[in-house]
C-alpha cells in the first residue's frame, strides 16, 4: 500500500485538498519507499502498479473540499461546448462527509426553457431559479456536465472527478477578491445548461470510476483486481495492513494486492474504470 499526501489549494470560500492528482501544477505527493514523489512522475514511472487502467495521463482527481462559505452557482461544460471553447468537460461525484453541518446543497434548477432561465439570471433571482436538496453524511451525488450545482457553507465533501478543471460561473454573490469580483461566464454557462433539468443522480459507477463505501466495526479484507484501488478514511481510526490510519488518510492499493482494515471506521473505496 502507498500513502498519498495532498496539495492544498486555498479558495475565497474555504480550501481544497487535492488528495490524488497529477493535474498540471496541483500534483499530490506519494510516499514510496519512505521517499516523497510527485504523483504525476510516480504514475508515469510505475504504471505497472495501476494495471490495465494505466492511461497515458492519470484520469482522476480526488479532493476533499471544505466550504466555509457558499461556492459559486456553477456548471461544468458538456463535451460539445468544451470542444467549442477549448475547455474540458468532467463528471464528478460528491460524498458528503460527517463534519458537514449544512442541511442542503444546490443541485439543479426550476427553469422550463432557456428564456425563463435567462430571466431568472437577469433578475439575479437565484433563490427561485435553483433547486436545493437535503443532504446527510454518506450521501452520494453525481454531477454530470450541464447540471447546475453549488456547495453551501459548512459543507465538507469527498469529490471524485475526471481530471479536468473547467467551471462556468452563473453567480458568485458579488464577492470581491484582490479588489475585483471573480469573473462570471453567463453566456457559456447558459449554452451548456441542461434544460429542462435532469433528475438528481446518485450513481456510484460512472464512465471512469467506481465508488463504494465500507463500514468496519471489526475487520474487513479484500484483494484488488488488475486495477488497484484508493482507500480514503472518512471517519474513525484503525489499521490498514498493520499500519495505523485515521480520518482523512488516503492510500493506494496496487493491483492484485490483499489488504485488511481493522478497527472502527468508515471508508470510501475508489476504483478506476
As a whole number of angstroms, the distance between CA 87 and CA 50 comes to: 28
Active-site residue identified among 169, 175, 177, 227: 169
Q: How many angstroms separate the CA atoms of 192 and 168, rounded?
A: 9
Give the three cell numbers for residue 80: 460539445
- Residue 242 neighbours by CB under 8 Å, 6+ apart: none
Q: 44: which 3 cell numbers?
A: 508515469
Query: What does the alpha-carbon distance between residue 67 and residue 85 come to, in Å, rounded to a whole number?
Result: 29
Quickly count helices (H) and strands (E) in the chain. Answer: 5, 22
Gap between the Cα atoms of 47 and 50, Å rounded: 5
Rounded distance between C-alpha atoms, residue 149 and residue 75, angstroms: 6
Count of residues making up the chain: 273
CA gap 245, 170 in Å, rounded: 40
212 sits in the region (left: phi over 0; alpha: psi -120 to 50; else beta) called: beta
Of the candidates 212, 101, 90, the residue with the CA atom closest to the CA atom of residue 149:
90
Contact 65, 143 (CB under 8 A): no
What is the rounded distance in angstroms from the CA atom of residue 259 to the CA atom of residue 224? 8
Q: Does 169 participate in catalysis according to the annotation? A: yes
Which positions are annotated as active-site residues? Answer: 169
Amino acid at each position: 500500500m502507498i500513502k498519498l499526501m495532498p496539495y492544498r489549494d486555498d479558495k475565497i470560500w474555504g480550501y481544497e485538498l487535492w488528495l490524488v492528482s497529477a493535474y498540471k501544477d496541483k500534483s499530490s505527493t506519494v510516499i514510496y519507499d519512505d521517499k516523497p514523489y510527485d504523483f504525476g512522475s510516480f504514475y508515469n514511472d510505475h504504471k505497472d502498479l495501476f494495471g490495465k487502467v494505466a492511461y497515458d495521463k492519470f484520469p482522476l482527481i480526488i479532493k476533499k473540499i471544505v466550504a466555509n462559505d457558499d461556492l459559486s452557482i456553477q456548471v461544468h461544460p458538456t463535451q460539445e461546448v468544451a470542444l467549442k471553447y477549448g475547455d474540458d468537460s468532467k463528471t464528478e461525484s460528491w460524498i458528503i462527509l460527517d463534519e458537514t453541518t449544512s442541511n442542503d446543497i444546490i443541485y439543479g434548477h426550476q427553469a422550463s426553457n432557456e428564456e425563463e432561465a435567462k430571466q431568472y439570471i437577469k433578475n439575479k433571482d437565484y433563490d427561485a431559479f435553483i433547486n436545493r436538496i437535503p443532504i446527510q453524511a454518506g450521501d452520494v451525488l453525481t454531477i454530470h456536465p450541464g447540471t447546475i450545482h453549488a456547495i453551501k457553507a459548512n459543507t465538507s465533501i469527498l469529490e471524485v472527478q475526471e481530471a479536468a478543471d473547467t467551471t462556468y460561473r452563473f453567480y458568485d454573490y458579488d464577492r470581491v477578491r484582490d479588489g475585483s469580483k471573480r469573473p462570471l461566464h453567463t453566456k457559456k454557462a447558459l449554452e451548456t445548461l441542461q434544460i429542462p433539468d435532469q433528475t438528481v443522480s446518485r450513481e456510484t459507477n460512472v464512465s471512469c470510476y467506481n465508488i463504494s463505501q465500507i463500514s468496519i466495526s471489526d475487520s474487513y479484507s479484500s484483494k484488488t483486481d488488475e486495477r488497484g484501488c484508493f482507500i480514503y478514511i472518512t471517519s474513525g481510526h484503525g489499521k490498514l495492513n498493520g499500519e495505523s490510519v485515521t480520518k482523512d488518510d488516503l492510500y493506494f492499493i496496487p493491483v492484485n494486492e490483499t489488504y485488511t482494515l481493522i478497527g472502527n471506521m468508515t471508508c470510501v473505496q475508489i476504483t478506476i474504470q
